[in-house]
Amino acid sequence: MGSGRAGGYHVAWQALRAGSTRAEGNVDYLVEERDFLLNVFDREGNPLGQDQYGLELERKLPGIRESVFGSFDSYIEEMEYLGDGLSGNARNYEDAEDTWGSPEDGGLPSSEVPALPSDGW
């Protein structure tokens, strides 16, 4: 993503943007998989019946369900956070590179120094 150079550090903001796009795609995939699994839980209910094993599963099923889907939701939130962070960093680095000018002016910043305020400075 970046490389050390004698003059500093260079970040390829395009790679950050690509990572953000991949994270967003992963979020979409994870939401689909979570929803699919949720439908399986809803459809199957307690597959063990009403014997002692079925009753034990029925007792534990809400906690199992909460644990499984809580983990899914936490992971989805982390992927969203990652995508947003990569996108923000890409935007910041892209903006920072852009301040160095355009290829037409040799990619150098303007040599003009902004005037300081004259009222009391």
Is residue 2 over pLDDT 90? no
- Tell me the pLDDT of the chain averaged across its residues: 83
pLDDT at 3: 56
In the DSSP assignment, the letter for residue 113 is: P
Question: What domains are defined for the chain?
Answer: 12-94 (1.10.287)
State the pLDDT confidence band at 37, using cuts at 50, 70 and 90.
very high
| pLDDT at 1 > cutoff 60 | no
Count Cβ neighbours within 10 Å for each residue of 51-90 and write b for 16 or more, e otherwise: eeeeeebeeeeeeeeeeeeeebeeebeebeebbeebbebb
Percent of the chain predicted with pLDDT > 90: 55
* Spacing of C-alpha 88 from chain mean position: 10
pLDDT of res. 121: 47
Average pLDDT over residues 79-107: 79
Does 94 score more than 80 pLDDT?
yes
- Whole-structure pTM value: 0.67
What are the two backbone dihedrals, phi and then psi, of residue 9, each rounded to the nearest 5 degrees?
-125, 135
Q: Judge whether 100 and 107 are in contact, CB under 8 Å.
A: yes
Question: Can you say whether residue 9 is alpha, beta or left, with left for phi > 0 and alpha for psi between -120 and 50 degrees?
Answer: beta
Indicate the DSSP class of residue 97: H
Task: Note the pLDDT of residue 46.
Answer: 83
